[in-house]
Amino acid sequence: MTRMTATVAPGEAGGRLDRLVSARWPTWSRTRWQAAIADGQVWVNGRPVRRVGHLVAPGDIIDAALPQEAPPAVPLQHEPLEVVIPLRYRDDVLVVVCKPAGVVVHPGAGHAHGTLVQALWPDVAAAGGEPGRAGVVHRLDRDTAGLMMLARTQVARAALSAALARRDVHRRYWALVEGHVDPPQGRLSAPIGRDPRHRTRMAVTAGGRPAATRYETLARWAHHSWVALELESGRTHQVRVHMAALGHPVVGDAVYGTGPALGQAHQALFAYALSFEHPTRRHRHLTLVEPWPERWHDALEQLGPPEWGAIPPRDPLTPLGPAGG
């Protein structure tokens, strides 16, 4: 991350924040700056401002923290990955894959090659979007595995993005977490934004964007729990940040927890279910459910039989139901 600071000159007063920062620091496009503002990465006089149309005043101090490199420009090209990307659904407008842990979704700072978008290129090329992010509707962290959908056309991408905004796309996760969540099921509503002390991390913060996660404990051991979670919003690192805020970080999380544990090199967080209306075929509802990862067997062998509850069966036909009641 690089920190940038500027003072608003008298001739810039009354201008929009997004126009000012994109003019001052043209390495990033105005679209990218608008996303950064909405994500709380731009501050005016020491406070994050999330409205791109915010009007600046003379003498305002503008701070920003963004990666030094800009995303690579399109067009991209196909780059096969060393790992297999399991295909779970595909038609003329949509593709759903099970992203492996360790795979970055799209090119960006520090990850110019070897991403999911490049592996699926040109399958998603026609969908458009921000530079380097063709077809991306939602993302999974690099070290989070599981179901992820990508659009193949611009119409599908717009429809799926709108469905996400309306909360009509249901995304459920399984996680192995430290300790016992109390109460064992519920809903956590806590805003998420950039950690003011560590700008590369997210945190529950008063100036963050609204975020809500429903959770339900399915099994417990002496010092760990298996939790099902459902997102009501889609903030960066949401599940990991919310569980860490509860005092129960995801097992293996090196950023918000204690790092590798129970034989897990990546965080034990898995996007196991997607449920949504097909973007172009009315009244067709898709529900995809993925069995939990084989690598979790190592953790389960170390934990032994649960003291309470039961481990979900590795059955892809497990029905999708609401988390947390």
pLDDT for residue 127: 86
- Binned at pLDDT 50, 70 and 90, residue 144 comes out as very high
Same domain, 271 and 228: yes
Give the residue among 242, 240, 315 at the shortest CA–CA distance from 273: 315
Residue 275 covered by a domain: yes
Structural domains in the chain (count): 3
Residue 70 covered by a domain: no
pLDDT tens-digit readout, 107-119 = 876 778 889 999 9
| Residue 63 falls in the annotated catalytic set | no
Are residues 199 and 191 in contact, defined by beta-carbon separation less than 8 angstroms? Answer: no
Give the residue among 70, 68, 156, 72 at the shortest CA–CA distance from 114: 72
DSSP state of 125: G
Same domain, 200 and 301: yes
Same domain, 177 and 302: yes
Same domain, 184 and 152: no
Which domain-ending residue is among 131, 165, 199? Answer: 165
Q: Which residues pair with 213 in a beta bridge?
A: 188, 231
pTM for this prediction: 0.76
Residue 50 covered by a domain: yes
Residue 318 covered by a domain: no
DSSP state of 58: T
Which domain-ending residue is among 165, 180, 195? Answer: 165
Which domain-ending residue is among 144, 165, 186? Answer: 165
Are residues 1 and 65 in contact, defined by beta-carbon separation less than 8 angstroms? Answer: yes
- Angle at alpha carbon of residue 60, lines to 58 and 64, rounded to 5°: 140
Same domain, 98 and 219: no
Least confident span in 73-77, 99-103, 170-174, 259-263: 73-77
Same domain, 299 and 188: yes
C-alpha separations of 304 from 251, 263, 301 in Å: 16, 14, 5
pLDDT for residue 27: 64
Residue 322 covered by a domain: no
Q: Find the domain containing 292 and state its range.
A: 170-309
- Binned at pLDDT 50, 70 and 90, residue 314 comes out as confident
Q: Quote the tokens at residue 78.
A: 């196909």
Q: Which residue has the higher pLDDT, 219 or 27?
A: 219
pLDDT for residue 143: 94
CA torsion angle 235 206 201 173 (round to 10): -30
Place of tokens 């709108």: 162
Burial of 33 (0-12, 13-18, 19+ CB in 10 A): buried
Is a pLDDT exceeding 90 seen at residue 142? yes
- Binned at pLDDT 50, 70 and 90, residue 2 comes out as low
Residue 317 covered by a domain: no
Is a pLDDT exceeding 90 seen at residue 130? no
pLDDT tens-digit readout, 224-271 = 999 999 999 888 899 999 999 999 999 999 999 999 999 998 999 999
Annotated catalytic residue: which of 60, 141, 143, 253?
141
